[in-house]
Amino acid sequence: MAQLSQTAQEFLQNTFGPMVAVLCSHDAEVIAQKNNLSFVELARPFCRLSSEAHIRDPTGQLHAVRNLRIILTDGNSQPPPVNAVKKKLSDSVSGSQAATKEGETDNVISLGSYDLQLSLVTPWYESYRETYLTEMSPLDHEFLRHHVACILLLTSRPSD
């Protein structure tokens, strides 16, 4: 069985948080570029709430959520082309192919004259899954990657 680095709850909280689109004015992006980061990249470290958040469901029931992660995305960005996504997926799998560590036992299955050695860990699967879930674009029939809010960022520099 694969040894995963996250529990199921951690995986769900990291993957399926509420998505917020950020629309920045040109002046705001210029200010953020002083740190060689876009505003979205600059704000991402502050998107994990350390306190408890309270969220109401459609029936009005209050739910407490710990360690809520808000996913910020650039509202002006276009989804990457399919070929680029396929290349990223391929690179994520090939980049995580590592030799088995010392002391790590493998399963050996003998089929006739063949000995098939299977590793007990699958780091390529976690890498592929993470890349797929971050790069997929929203589909019409599902709501996992749709934005629930928008931040409009302006500066007070321009007179208008």
Q: What is the pLDDT of residue 99?
A: 47
Q: What is the pLDDT of residue 22?
A: 95
Q: What is the pLDDT of residue 17?
A: 85
Tally of CB atoms within 10 A around 120: 12
Q: Three-state secondary structure along 126-158?
A: HHHHHHHHHHCCCCCCCCCCCEEEEEEECCCCC
> Higher-confidence residue: 102 or 55?
55
Average pLDDT over residues 38-66: 90
Q: pLDDT-based confidence at 4, cuts 50/70/90?
A: low
Please state the pTM of the whole predicted model.
Answer: 0.71
Extract long-range pairs of 109-116: CB within 8 Å, 24+ residues apart.
none
Helix (H, G, I), strand (E, B) or coil at 50: coil
Nearest alpha-carbon partner for 14 in 24, 23, 22, 4:
4
pLDDT per residue as tens digits for the range 68-122: 899 999 988 888 888 998 999 999 888 876 544 544 556 788 888 888 877 767 7
Tally of CB atoms within 10 A around 30: 12
Nearest alpha-carbon partner for 155 in 21, 22, 20, 30:
30
Q: What is the pLDDT of residue 41?
A: 92
| Residue 60: both structure tokens together | 């009005």
Average pLDDT, the chain: 83
Alpha carbon 71 to its chain centroid, in Å, reads: 8
Percent of the chain at pLDDT > 70 equals 88
Do the beta carbons of residue 108 and residue 115 sit within 8 Å? yes
Tally of CB atoms within 10 A around 40: 22
Map out the domains of the chain as residue ranges: 7-79+140-160, 80-136
Q: pLDDT-based confidence at 155, cuts 50/70/90?
A: confident
How far apart are the C-alpha atoms of 55 and 63, rounded to whole Å?
5
Nearest alpha-carbon partner for 74 in 35, 42, 31, 48:
42
Is residue 142 pLDDT above 80, yes or no? no
